[in-house]
Amino acid sequence: MAEAIVIGGGAVGLAIARELRRRGLSVILLERNQPGRAASWASAGIVSDPIGRPDDANFQLDVLSRQLWPTFVEALQAESGMDPEFRESGCLIPALDDAEAESLACLIRAGLVPTGQLLPVQALREAEPVLSPSIQSALWRPGGNVDNRRLCKALEISNRRQGVEIRTGAEVRTVVVASGRVRGVELVDDHLSADLVVAAAGAWSSQLAGCQPRLPIVPQRGQILALDGGPVNLRQVILASGDPYLVPRADGRIIVGATREFAGWDTSLTAGGVAGLLTRAIRMVPALADRPIQEMWTGFRPISPDGIPLIGPGQASGLFICTGHGPHGIGPLPGTTTLLSALIFGEEPPIPAKAFRPERFTSGEGA
Ligand SMILES: Cc1cc2nc3c(=O)[nH]c(=O)nc-3n(C[C@H](O)[C@H](O)[C@H](O)COP(=O)(O)OP(=O)(O)OC[C@H]3O[C@@H](n4cnc5c(N)ncnc54)[C@H](O)[C@@H]3O)c2cc1C
């Protein structure tokens, strides 16, 4: 018997398991496939300063996370010996026409991008020479990306070294509750007891029987691909106001992502999806037209009804939920872990926790 069970070995489950172990608990992480192979593997790993209002829950989670990223990565690298390649290269949102330029200016005027600044054309050319000459302005803000696949691997290594038991091929069927307390979990062929259970099953969270409140998470497909960047020296993350975004990896690849589609559990790459991403990517950086495609894949974002993740206690004592991060699950990872562990250990949360309450949809508070 462990003191804590974590269901799901994505970035969220792996980071929570690490934190619980650091706090002295014995931890078993249950992953039905292999750790870090679902949304957290598919992701582009963008980590950027937030856009929004200071009282917005996601904004606060992002601000907290941005403060924590450097120390989080440093500690993880020391524990695992693996560099997750967190790079603060900056993020550019280019204006593709006059209307987009005005929208970006509006964001700045409204104070929604506190750390952002508009780059005039000369500064833009110097900052990112490979952008199309037709782009006349852009909004710059701090940020960058982490190689999410390496991040998951580093988390897995760190967990194993610190004594977390990671069981692969371990599919949880039911969260077991009796007399208002969580007692453990039923797997397909086993039963495990624990007084603390954290449900972090990503896009599959609604399938966890016995978990109350029911988790209204749906999968959103993202099609995404990697180009061999070769001589195209993209320096920063490029975020178009719609899709696509371009992410330069330390290994020379350029990630082009990603569609946002409600297509059930269909893992297909589609002609229209890939064509749309590539057409718009080449419009922003024309030199990409000649670059070889290295890899294409899809993943499922765990989408919550109001766009805010579910972080906090479930109905049974000892049950905690952490899922529903949608299109931004890697960026807010350190803040998510810190918030959840404060709630588990009964400490003052580092940011207001009410907006993240998992039961908000059953009590009629949510969207
Ligand atoms: C194409 C794409 C691009 C993205 N780009 C970005 C980005 O640039 N920046 C950003 O911040 N976010 C991005 N995201 C979002 C981010 O990747 C996700 O929000 C985040 O990875 C979710 O992590 P997770 O651990 O909750 O889910 P997952 O990584 O999906 O992990 C859930 C795990 O739970 C396991 N599991 C499920 N059910 C069970 C069960 N019953 N028993 C045992 N195990 C179970 C699954 O096998 C899986 O391994 C992107 C997502 C996609 C798909």
Provide mean pLDDT across the span 205-233.
Answer: 97
What average pLDDT does the chain have? 96
Contact partners, residue 255, CB within 8 Å, separation at least 6: 44, 45, 224, 225, 226, 245, 246, 247, 249
For domain 4-83+148-216+305-360, give the CATH number. Answer: 3.50.50.60
Express the helix, strand and coil content of the chain in percent, nearest 5 each: 30, 25, 40
Per-residue pLDDT tens over the stretch 251-264: 999 999 999 999 99
Per-residue pLDDT tens over the stretch 23-65: 999 999 999 999 999 999 999 999 999 999 999 999 999 999 9
| CA atoms within 13 A of residue 58's CA, in its CB half-sphere | 20
Same fold, 4-83+148-216+305-360 and 91-143+219-303: no
- CB-based contact 61:329 (threshold 8 Å): no
Q: What pLDDT does 365 receive? A: 57
Task: Give Cα 320 distance to the centre of its chain.
Answer: 19
Provide mean pLDDT across the span 211-215.
Answer: 94
Provide mean pLDDT across the span 143-158.
Answer: 98
Ordered by start, the domain boundaries in the chain are 4-83+148-216+305-360, 91-143+219-303
Ligand 1 pocket mutation, candidates 33, 34, 40, 266, criterion most atoms within 8 A of CB? 40
Q: State whether the beta carbon of 219 lies less than 6 angstroms from ligand 1.
A: no
Q: State whether the beta carbon of 319 lies less than 6 angstroms from ligand 1.
A: no
Compute, in angstroms, the gap from residue 201 CA to the centroid of ligand 1.
Answer: 8
Architecture in CATH of 91-143+219-303? 2-Layer Sandwich (3.30)
Alpha-carbon distance 214 to 132, whole Å? 47
Residue 195 has pLDDT above 80, yes or no: yes
- In this structure, which amino acid lies at residue 315? Q
Per-residue pLDDT tens over the stretch 269-303: 999 999 999 999 999 999 999 999 999 999 999 99
Other CB atoms within 10 Å distance of the CB of residue 55: 9
Residue 367: pLDDT band (50, 70, 90) is: very low
Provide mean pLDDT across the span 328-338.
Answer: 98
Compute, in angstroms, the gap from residue 335 CA to the centroid of ligand 1.
Answer: 16
Per-residue pLDDT tens over the stretch 75-124: 999 999 999 999 999 999 999 888 888 999 999 999 999 899 999 899 99
Q: State whether the beta carbon of 273 lies less than 6 angstroms from ligand 1.
A: no
Contact partners, residue 122, CB within 8 Å, separation at least 6: none
